[in-house]
């Protein structure tokens, strides 16, 4: 696959110092750079320079998210495909962001800003690539392996799905349909072999629902709950299972109110994975398999 993975998310935070403290000590990311009032971070198991950028702003949310493409040629190919699909493209020049080359930026049918890029400096990991130990010493906080996916809200779930599938070669692992089968209200999309790399739920345009980090197993989701309780972080949903993706999960909030998830497992996907359908009357079970209903806060 030439669109390799969700490479980064740039989050808007209201107090940069508080946010950096939370993302480094509680999530347990590593700060890798600062420039122009932005802080760059990566998870311990990520090789590239950063996967999260924090930007001070007057309201929380997502400034943009970006997928890493396998080569500059592939980047040019997808630039054409995005134009052919009819989205407006702009170019982000090399050096706009720390340790990154040129990126292409577009506005999705849901109003989100998305970028594709290839060039980024590799920092490597503390365990290295020669006879590595399974994890580095001195991990802090939840210490996820990597950024896993974003769930975004928007009105035009149908067209944003068509864009990812037709223009960017993503697969759709799952969808949520109204009971009459007329309207798609949820869409889960993958370019890796995981259950989802980005997903959309019907709701207000251009908003972040959550950014998710991948941990090893369900015990690490439970340990995340322990760490969040010890640090008095607001937990929205205690450890449970998703029907959709079959992953295990916990939801909580950063100091600005951006929802985060620690996520693990879920099935593998392949190019020929069929799209699983959930009907809206079973959405509670789809999202929270045991509780079988959505919490009030989760849909707001």
**Phi/psi of residue 211, nearest 5 degrees:** -115, 130
On whether the CB atoms of residues 107 and 87 are closer than 8 A, the answer is: yes
- Residue 212 touches which of Fe ion, Ca ion, none (Cβ within 5-8 Å per kind): Fe ion
Instruction: Reply yes or no on whether 290 is catalytic.
Output: no
CB 149, min distance to Fe ion, A:
6
| Burial category of 236 from C-beta neighbours within 10 Å (exposed 0-12, middle 13-18, buried 19 and up) | middle
The least distance separating Ca ion from the CB of residue 124, rounded to whole angstroms, comes to 22
Task: Indicate if 149 belongs to the active site.
Answer: yes
Catalytic residue flag (residue 133): no
Is residue 7 within a helix (H) or strand (E), and if so which, with residue range? strand 3-13
| Active-site residue flag, 22 | no
Nearer to Fe ion, 197 or 261 (CB): 261
46 has catalytic annotation: no
| CB 180, min distance to Fe ion, A | 26
Q: Which of 48, 148, 174, 261 binds Ca ion (CB under 5 A)?
A: 148
CB-based closest residue to Ca ion: 194
From Fe ion, Ca ion, none, which one binds at residue 197 (CB under 5 to 8 Å depending on kind)? Ca ion
Return left, alpha or beta for 99; rule: phi > 0 is left, psi -120 to 50 is alpha, else beta: left
Number of residues that make up the chain: 300
Residues in contact with Fe ion by the rule CB under 5 A:
212, 261
The number of beta carbons lying within 10 Å of the beta carbon of residue 291 is 14
The least CB distance from residue 190 to Ca ion, in Å, is 7
| E strand segments, 191-291 | 198-202, 207-214, 235-241, 247-253, 259-265, 276-279
DSSP structure class, residue 288: S
Applying CB under 5 A, does 149 fall inside the site for Ca ion? yes
Q: Which of 125, 172, 191, 194 binds Ca ion (CB under 5 A)?
A: 194
User: CA–CA separation, 132 vs 241, rounded Å?
Assistant: 32
Q: Is 209 one of the catalytic residues? A: no
Q: Which of 64, 118, 196, 209 is catalytic?
A: 196
**Cβ proximity of 232 and 294 under 8 Å:** no
Catalytic residue annotation:
149, 196, 210, 242, 251, 261
Binding residues for Ca ion (CB under 5 A): 148-149, 194, 197
């Amino acid at each position: 696959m030439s669109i390799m993975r969700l490479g980064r998310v740039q989050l808007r935070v209201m107090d940069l110092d508080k946010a950096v403290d939370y993302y480094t000590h509680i999530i347990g990311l590593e700060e890798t750079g600062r420039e122009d009032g932005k802080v760059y971070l990566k998870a311990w198991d990520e090789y590239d320079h950063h996967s999260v950028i924090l930007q001070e702003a007057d309201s929380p949310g997502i400034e943009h998210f970006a997928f890493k493409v396998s080569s500059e040629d592939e980047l040019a190919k997808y630039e054409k495909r995005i134009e052919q699909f009819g989205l407006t493209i702009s170019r982000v020049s090399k050096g706009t962001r720390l340790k990154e080359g040129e990126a292409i930026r577009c506005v999705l049918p849901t109003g989100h800003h998305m970028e594709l890029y290839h060039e980024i400096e590799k920092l490597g990991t503390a365990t290295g690539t020669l006879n590595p130990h399974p994890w580095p010493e001195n991990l802090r906080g939840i210490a996820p392996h990597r950024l896993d996916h974003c769930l975004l809200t928007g009105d035009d779930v149908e067209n944003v799905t068509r864009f990812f599938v037709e223009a960017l070669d993503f697969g759709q692992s799952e969808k949520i349909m109204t009971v009459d089968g007329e309207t798609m209200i949820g869409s889960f999309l993958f370019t890796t072999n995981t259950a989802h790399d980005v997903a959309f739920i019907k709701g207000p345009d251009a908003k972040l629902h959550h950014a998710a980090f991948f941990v090893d197993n369900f015990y690490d989701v439970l340990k995340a709950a322990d760490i969040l309780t010890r640090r008095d972080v607001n937990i929205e949903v205690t450890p449970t299972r998703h029907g959709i993706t079959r992953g295990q999960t916990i939801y909580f909030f950063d100091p600005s109110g951006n929802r985060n998830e620690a996520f693990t497992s879920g099935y593998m996907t392949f190019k020929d994975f069929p799209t699983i359908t959930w009907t809206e009357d079973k959405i509670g079970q789809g999202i929270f398999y045991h509780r079988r209903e959505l919490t009030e806060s989760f849909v707001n």
